[in-house]
Structures are given as structure tokens and as C-alpha cells.
Chain A
Amino acid sequence: MNNKLLAENIVKKVLKLGADEAEVYLENNREFELTVRNGDVETIKQATSKGLGLMVFKEKKLGFSYTSDFSDESIEEFAKRTVQLSLVADPKPWNGLPDFKKGKIKDFDLYDSSIAEIPNEKKIKIAKEVEKIALAYDKRITKSEGGYFRDSERETILVNSKGISYSSKRTGIYFGADVVAGEGSEMQSGGWSSSKRHFKDLDTIENVAKEAGKRAVEKLGAKPVPTQKAPVVFDRYAARAFWAGILFAMNGDSVYKKTTFLTEHLDKHIASELITIIDDPTIPRHVASLPFDGEGNITRKNVLIDKGILKMFIYDTITARKAGVKVNTIASRYGYRSPASARFLNVVVQNGNVDREKIVSGIKNGFYVKGLRGIGTDIPTGNYSCGSSGFWIKDGEIAFPVDGVTLGGNVLDMLKNIEVLANDIDLRGSLNSPSFKITEMAVGGKK
């Protein structure tokens, strides 16, 4: 049976079984994964898979189930059981499907039909090539964790009893390498990759390989620095982990429950005026773009922080209703195994206008953050404490690699002390930021 028809039939079936509202989210996936190491193919994995998640509401009670078994008798049993599950929950007046604004979903050019045609030989060649160039980048690169190539295709279908019936197809393509540089007994790893929706949009093999090699070699000799206060530059890629913590703290349910430090900060200045953050899942061909979100809303741009002022929290429909706020919901899916929940889709911290090099050259003594271990933010308190690696800046220049230090502070202080924003954003993933400088932070290392 056609998958969309199957989804529509399940919705009809559970309504007949007594549900008041229902939603089916269905995925159909194809994946190919290839790894090479030291010039030889190590693994090839390929498969297709499918699954669907069913959410039902009966008398404002929620039930949820998923299955990958689409046989007629299993679906029958599955539908019945899900309606029964909803009876266990307590009714909540805010439960139910979103109120949809009718409209047509847009085509963001997320599907590249040429990917399915790429012969395995070509994929193997790319994976071997990227590893080879990364290994040759510097003679101190001695070991390989491998080169890899992956591609995937996903069809997503969302059907519900409020008349929404959408489907969308997207492709993904991805390659890169991880290598290890060594000197004496020291080893440092470095990796890089390129991930796109379209084959043609991928970065060159050479660029990816050299970046992987560079990232391993540049860490050799890294050491902690004495504990001190110093200006800190967050590199554009490292910055993503910092923003992730702030975005978690903007979760509407945490705000409702007062478990985030941002609870009382709506419409207030929480950051330097340089900071504007937009959730924009509508950028054509971008890896994090989507025509409809996890709840079936047509995707849209939302300004989260405008010139330092916190403009909105991130709510899904049920939480927004519970909290009594009128807001554009932003909900994503982790797959068919769970219902949609509030989460940003594609965050873009707007670019500044200063060259990164200029930021560094203006610092006498400071820390350039290249790696963060975790998000660092304690959501309830806004305390920031994060393991970090990078470089020490001395007299305006990168002086030596640093590792084994922690950055400590308070997120609100950090946000307000962003004094320079670079112009170097690279839209690589679902969270994108330029580099920036924070006036001063605690850098913890050796006594």
C-alpha cells in the first residue's frame, strides 16, 4: 500500500475506534554507509527501513505508540492498543492537535535524485581520497581513524485528523575523515566533514581532508595554562555548543515549570546588542531546512533574540496552550519513535561585521576556544562551566595550543559581554554562529 494512504487509513481507523483526534507520522528511509581505513574498505552498510508513530487523543487524554511492522493484522492490533493506552493518562484541557493555518508547503529543493545513481565505486574513491589527502597533510600525521562516505534518503509523511496530509522527501550526503597526529608519546585527533542535501553542494575533497589534517596537527603540544581571568574568543564552530545550552534554556516547558534561568527574562535585554538569533528552517537546500515541522505546521522564520532582547521561548502546541501563550510553535521530531516536541529547527546567529583575524590581533593575552566538551550551561542556574581546548593568544597572535582548561562564568554575564561579533558564519548544520569575543571569563587550568 502507498504509505500516505496507509497513514490516512490509520487515522480513520483510530477515529472509528473512538479516538477524538489522531496523528500519524511515518518515515521511509534508505541508508548507505561506507568506511575506509589505510586505503582499504572497512565497512559497507546498506538498508531500507520504515516506521510510524501514532498519537491519539481521547477525551483530552494522550496515547502514543510506534511500530515498524506494517502488516494488516499488526496495524489493526496496534491501532486498538494505542487507543487503549490513551485511557491510562489523565485528561488535560490543553491536549490536542494544533490549530493549523491552512497553506501549501513549499519546496526548498531538499531532494537530489542524482544521489541514488552514484555508483559504489565513486563513493569508495571519495572516501579513500579524503583519507589519503588528510594523512599526507603533515608528516606528523601517523594514523587514520578512517575516511567515510554516507548518503541517505528519507520520505516523511504527516497525516492527522484535522485534514493535514503532507509528505516530503529529502536526501543527505556526507563525507569526511578522522586522523591522528603524533609526536613522541603524544597523540591528537582531528576530523572534518562536509554534509549537504545535494551532491553538487559538497565541499571539495581537498578542503575537507586538509581541514581534518590541520585540526589534528595544530593540537600537538597542547597544555593547560595557569588559572586566570582573560578575554575569550569562541571560534564559530565551537560556539555552537555554547548556543545549544542557551537554546535548551529557552524551552517553553522549562519556562512554564520555572526550571530555567531565563524564566523571567522575556522581552528583556539578555545579551549584547550585537546578538540577533533567528530560527530559519526555510533556507533552500540547507541541511536543516524542512517544509513542515514535527507537528505539521508549515515552517516559518522566527526571531528568538533581537539585538540582545529575548523575543520568544520555544514552545510546542501543547505546552503553549498549557502556558496560555500565543506564539508561533517550533517543534521537531527525533524520528517516528516519539511525538513532536519543542525544539529549534535551524538556528542562525546573525553575522557580525568584523574579520576574525582582527578580533585576535586586538588581544594582548587571551584564549581562543576551538573545542568545547559539552554544552557547559547549567539550565536551572545559568552557571557556565565547560571543558575546553584551543589556543593561547599572545600579543595579537596565536601562540600555542591549549587543552585541559575549563571556562567558568555565568551565561547572562557572558551574553552581555559579547563585545565583538565576527563576519565568518558558515551554514553547516542546524545551529550556526559566527565567532565572537567575550570581554573576560574565568579560565581554569593549573594552579
Chain B
Amino acid sequence: MKKYLKPIPRRKFLKTGITGGAIIATLPVWKLFSFSAPPSDFHVNPAVNLSKETLEKLIKIALQHGGEFAEVYVEYSVGNQIFLEENKIYGAGRGVDMGVGIRVLHGEKTGYAYSDDLSFEKLKQTAEVASHIAAEKEVKEPVGLKSSKIPSYYLVKVSPDSIVPQDKAKLLWKANSIGREYDKKINQVNVSFSDTNKKIIIANSDGIWVEDVQTLSRFLVSINVIKGDKRSRGYAYKDGTLGYEHYDLKVAEEIAKDACRMAIAMLPAESAPAGEYPIVMAKGHCGTFFHEAIGHSLESDGIRKKTSCFWDKKGKEIASKISSLADDGTVLGARGSINVDDEGTPSQNTILIDKGKCVDFLNDRLNAKLMKAKLTGNGRRESYQHYPLPRMTNTYLLAGEDDPEDILKSVKKGIYVARIGGGNVNWVTGRFVFSVPEGYLIEDGKITKPLKGIQLMGSGPEVLKNIVMVGPDLEILGGGTCGKDGQGKPVSDGNPTLKVSKITIGGAKV
């Protein structure tokens, strides 16, 4: 039940290497797409290209005990990572995951089985295991598969999997030398490039048959500074559904400088005051707040089970009139963007809160069916080893009309949140907590000094009502890997400059 954004665990290679933390990616919110082909330089093991006949056979077997719906999910995924630390390339790694997950839905029931062995015999057994969730006499005939073409929201020309690690190493070395030169107080520079390249095929008993190639890449710089007994950390990164053409030495330099700037800025930080204060959130870097504190409570599993704090709030005012929230899987190149979700539903932009009113929830197939709601393209799963859950994609607060300068000026004493870190939420109470890796004191409408140890606490429903000013400057720069029920999934988020009239700050000073 706890949802969280993970910090980046050191030296967790590959699978988790690309996950974690809050993010940087400078992407405009363009509404464009193309029917562009996936990168031709990502080589997929041909064993995963199951034929139409095989997929249809498996669906039929999965329905043999009268299940209402059956689905086959095929995945081939390659992860690459390369790290630099202590002025050395620490190592390069690569991993391959391949398998098939078969799901049968029957009423509120789900049967799920998976196999990493793609022989027909093993897949047949897998379908049989899943089929047993139903025990009906009448057996449903599946609809014949019809392949469909889908628009693309990825910005990928060159698959990062096609780039040899020696080339990626050049970016790492560039960032390292920038970091080492930036300031003498910098004692550690860690740099990594990681990418995952995934082909998925989804076929179901409603006749849907789609495939997608999903590319994620990330360039991350992390800096540690020591002076006397003071220590601080800075980080920055670029990531998204981006091909390797988006990375070069100039990008490496920019990202490294941003990480250095943050680390040096935070070195003199003083302990944050504890208690209730107004906060101003910087544009772009604080969207994780809306993902965690609000978004999770609008996912339809908690709505259907009536365990979310918003379960009975559709059509009602849940936020201040200037607050609107969207989940949008179609932001070009963003980390949470998808062409289709992991159930084959095309991605879309869903307005969840419209001028303060709760208007929609995020659905996967199961919950949409049980609540008689429409699909929103939010059925997502970590891998073939998991069944889909309703999950966010790119979540952001929509732009408002307040001047960002006026927003800052309106605060006599408060906290400026330049960047929000990891957090978690209890979706039943809506209570959340976030760390703030970069935050400052606001005094008389001006940012004065850096603060350490800031924790933001409160409940989503409360905070929504306390959003009192919203700027026009929406940017989608945040995100990471969201965890829910043990499944990690890439997401992004964003926000314009905004003010929350009061929030509880946890700090050491009383």
C-alpha cells in the first residue's frame, strides 16, 4: 500500500540501475507525434516474435475454463549501464530479460502465470495455469487478432543499446572533468549512463494485437562536497524516452555543472525550522509532490475498493479553484510517456482535477470494467512477471496566471522548495512525507539562505485546498521510478511555480 519514489541505491546494477530518484530532463510540453518506426538498431531476440497463430492458440488455451478475458504479454528487454567514480570507469554491465506473462480475468478475479522459457510447450502450460482462475462450463470464443498501428511519443532515432560502452564513457569522462574543475571542495564525482530497451507484444481475446519498442535513457551526475565538518550533495540528470542522439559532450557539461551548483549551494545549509509555514515550489522540479500526494489516490484500484481518500469525490470540489491536474502519457520524450500501456490501450492525456473539481480517475482494464469506466491507458506493469495495475505516466499541475515574482514576494517567512526529493504516501489517509534536497528560507519575499533536513508533511486533500497561487510557467522536469505493490515503473512529473499557504515542515530547530 505504500507508494514511494526510490532514492538511487549505489551500485545496484542494471535492472534497478536506471530507476530511482528525482530527475532532470529539459523537455518542452509539445503535443506532437508521428508514426515513426522504432529504432532499427535495437536487435531483438527473434524468439519473442511469437506468430499470430501461436498468440491465438495461447489465448484460446487461457480461456478453456470459461474465463471472460485472456491476454498474452511478451517482453524482451536489454539494460545497459556504465559508471564512473573516483576518476575511474568502475565497470560496465548488461542484462537481458525475456519472458511471457499470461493473464485471465474472470469477474473480479485475476489468474496470472509467467514463463521465461518461450518454447510452445512451456507457454501452453503457463496459459493452462492462468486459465484455472475460472471454472465455468461455457467457454468464450476469442476475437481473432487484428494488428493496430499506434502513434509514437518517443524521441528515439538511435537506440542507446547500439552504442558501444566506450562511446558512452566519453560522456562520463567529460562530466567528471567538469566536476573536478568546478570547485576544490568537490571530493566525489559519480557519473553514470544507463538505458533500457524493451520490446513488448500484447495480444488479447478482444482481438487487440499491438507491439511497441520502449527506450529509456538516463545520464546522471552526482557530486559530494566536503569542507571541514560540513558535507553536501548535488545531483542532476537528463532522461526520458530519448534516443542516444540527445546526449553529447555539451549535455554532459550542462548536467555536471548543474549538479555542482546544487552541491556547492547546499554546503552552508542550516537546519530547517520545524512547524507550519507557507512554501513556494520552483517550476518543473516539484511535480513529484503531485504524483505522490494526489496522483496515487486517484488511481482506480483504491477508488473501486473505496480505500482511497478520494473514492467518493468524483464531481466534487477537492482543490482550490486555481488547481488543475493531468496525467498525460503523450508528453513527447518524457520519462513516463508510452505509446500504449501494458494492456495495449493507446496512451492519452487525462484531466483528473479541473479547476478544483475531481473529474476523472486513472484506469487499467480490470478496474475500468468493474467500475464501468472508460480505459485511460494507465494499465502498467514492471515486467512479464507482473500483472498490470492502474499507474500514472507523466503527472503535472496545469499552468495558472500568477506572476512567479509575485508568488515569491507574497511570502513573509516560508520555505522555497527548489527541488523535491523522494517521498511516500499512504493513499488511505492521503498522508505524505517528502525530503527536500535543495531548499531555501524565504524572508520578506526573498530567497535568503539554504536549508538542510527539510521534510514536507501533510495530507493530499488538505494541501490541494491550500494551493493559493499558480504561475504560468509549467515545466515537466521531474520523475523517477515509482513503486507500487512491489512493481517499479518509470514516471515523470511537472509543475509551474506555485504557493501552498501552509504545510508542516519537519526540521531540527524548534
Contact = CB atoms under 8 A, between A and B. Distances in A.
B506 interface: yes
Contacts of B11: 253, 338-339, 341
Given A42-B109, A337-B16, A404 B504 contact: yes
Interface stretch (A43-51, A106-114, A159-167): A43-51
Contacts of B230: 381
B109 A406 contact: no
Given A37-B305, A49-B385, A189 B505 contact: no
Closest 4 CB pairs of A and B: A406-B506, A444-B274, A387-B433, A380-B231
Interface string B90-118: 11111111110000000011111111100
B232 interface: yes
Interface string A222-263: 001001110000000000000000000001010001110100
Contacts of B90: 62, 89-90
A373 interface: yes
Contacts of B133: 41, 44
Nearest to A48: B115
B142 interface: no
Contact of A442 (B12, B126, B274): B274
Given A380-B231, A447-B276, A385 B508 contact: yes
A125 interface: no
B114 A49 contact: yes
A258 B226 contact: yes
Interface in B307-357: 307, 309
Interface string B425-448: 010110111010000000000000
16 contacts: A41-B109, A42-B108, A47-B385, A49-B114, A68-B99, A89-B91, A145-B1, A261-B231, A338-B12, A341-B12, A387-B455, A403-B429, A404-B431, A409-B508, A442-B510, A447-B276
A383 interface: yes
B95 A374 contact: no
A386 B111 CA distance: 39
Grouping DSSP codes into helix (H, G, I), strand (E, B) and loop, the B interface class, with mixed when no group exceeds half, is strand
Contacts of A335: 15
Interface in A366-410: 373-374, 376, 378, 380-381, 383-387, 389, 403-410
Nearest to A319: B11
Contact of B91 (A46, A64, A257): A64
Interface in A137-188: 143-145, 178, 180, 187-188
A296 interface: no
Contacts of B109: 40-44
A258 B133 CA distance: 54
B113 A408 contact: no
Interface of A: 37, 40-51, 61-69, 74, 78, 81-82, 85-86, 88-90, 92, 143-145, 178, 180, 187-189, 191, 224, 227-229, 251, 253, 257-259, 261, 334-335, 337-339, 341, 373-374, 376, 378, 380-381, 383-387, 389, 403-410, 442-447
Contacts of B505: 406, 444
A16 to B, nearest CB: 20
- Indicate the member of B126, B305, B387, B455 with the most A CB atoms within 10 Å: B455
Nearest to B458: A404
Q: Which of B165, B231, B432 has the most chain A CB atoms inside 10 A of its CB? A: B231
Contact of A64 (B93, B271, B455): B93
Given A338-B14, A374-B422, A386-B455, 6 more contacts: A64-B94, A86-B92, A258-B226, A373-B432, A380-B232, A387-B506
Contacts of B307: 143, 145, 180, 187, 189
B16 A227 contact: no
A90 B89 contact: yes
A403 B453 contact: no
A4 to B, nearest CB: 19
Interface string B359-375: 00000000000000000
Interface in B401-433: 422-424, 426, 428-429, 431-433
A380 B112 contact: no
B312 to A, nearest CB: 9
A299 B363 CA distance: 47
A74 B95 CA distance: 12
B188 interface: yes
B12 A85 contact: no
B224 A374 contact: no
B281 interface: no
A324 to B, nearest CB: 14
B28 interface: no
A385 B506 contact: yes
A259 to B, nearest CB: 5
